[in-house]
Amino acid sequence: MSDTIETLKCLIIGSGPAGYTAAVYAARANLEPVVYTGPEPGGQLMITTDVENYPGYPDGIRGPEMMEDFKKQAERFGTQVRYEMISKVDFTGPVHKVWTEAGKEIHAHSVIISTGASAKWLGIESEQKLMNKGVSACAVCDGFFYKGLEVIVVGGGDTAAEEASYLAKLCPKVHLLVRRDEMRASKIMQDRVKKTENIEIHWNTSTVEILGEEEVIGARVVNNITKKESIIDGKGFFVAIGHKPNTGIFTDWLAADETGYLIPEPGTSKTAIEGVFVSGDAADKIYRQAVTAAGTGCMAALDAERYLTEKEII
């Protein structure tokens, strides 16, 4: 391993829609960006089968193909894409230091954080087997495919309440599985769910197995009090137990909320540290869409360009 320290104008950490969009804008502005993809190149869209709500794809596109298009566009303007992970950062000085998992030290005049967030899963075998075959973590992304069909949602917080409410507008019946005898969701969200006639809440209920071979047909569940098992029919199974932002290496340096989402200055991508910007789902726990992530990636690159211009680095 070389001991040479590389100095970059613009380092982008993460490679989903936010990271690649930032790279397109940064490369066109002559910032010579380098993208470190992290452990999940392409982000959550790599486990998304069909994307039908991103502008410019009238016939829809598979998530991995879309991310390949983003990557090719970024590379077309000179972005370097490296399939490695940044494991440590030091934001004390005017030039920011980061280290790759292999131990290489990199100095960057600007850093764009686009590490995204990962959906939390139940961790059962059938969940993995039926991923993208009826199992989803995003009702807004995939709910349309289940229009007119019965579906199941798991969770008791605001995310689950929002997902169930959204699906109730598309589906004749939504089964909401809550593992306790109460929901953690805010009172207003609970009231909305309880007042929606086609949402049936199953209290004290946990999932034993998601049923189906090539597609979801239902779930085998257990009542946590009586221990009695039963089958609930449904063509879609939505896991809505929250997301975890991939921001662990940054939270000692940057402002974050109690769950780890980074907090930029309102209306910008700027963090409290000069030259460090954040975009995408690492800072967004509300919308979590590819198109909104891409928009904030654009903002971060423009903010980085202005910062580097003011510092006379470009």
Catalytic center residues: 138, 141-142
In whole angstroms, what is the distance from residue 285 CA to residue 271 CA?
Answer: 17
What separation in angstroms does the CA of 70 have from each of 140, 220, 247, 296, 299?
Answer: 22, 39, 23, 15, 17
Specify the DSSP element, H or E, that contains 309: helix 290-310
Residue 186 and residue 213 in contact, taking contact as beta carbons nearer than 8 Å: no
Half-sphere exposure of 269 (CA within 13 A, CB side): 32
In whole angstroms, what is the distance from residue 11 CA to residue 70 CA?
Answer: 17
In whole angstroms, what is the distance from residue 5 CA to residue 277 CA?
Answer: 22
Which tokens sit at 123? 């961790």
Residue 218 and residue 152 in contact, taking contact as beta carbons nearer than 8 Å: yes
In whole angstroms, what is the distance from residue 18 CA to residue 54 CA?
Answer: 13
Q: What share of the chain is helix, strand, coil (3-state, %, to 5)?
A: 30, 25, 45
Strands across the sheet containing 218-223? 205-211, 218-223, 229-233
Angle in degrees, CA 56, 57, 63, rounded to 5: 120
Query: How many other C-beta atoms can be found within 10 angstroms of the C-beta atom of residue 80?
Result: 15
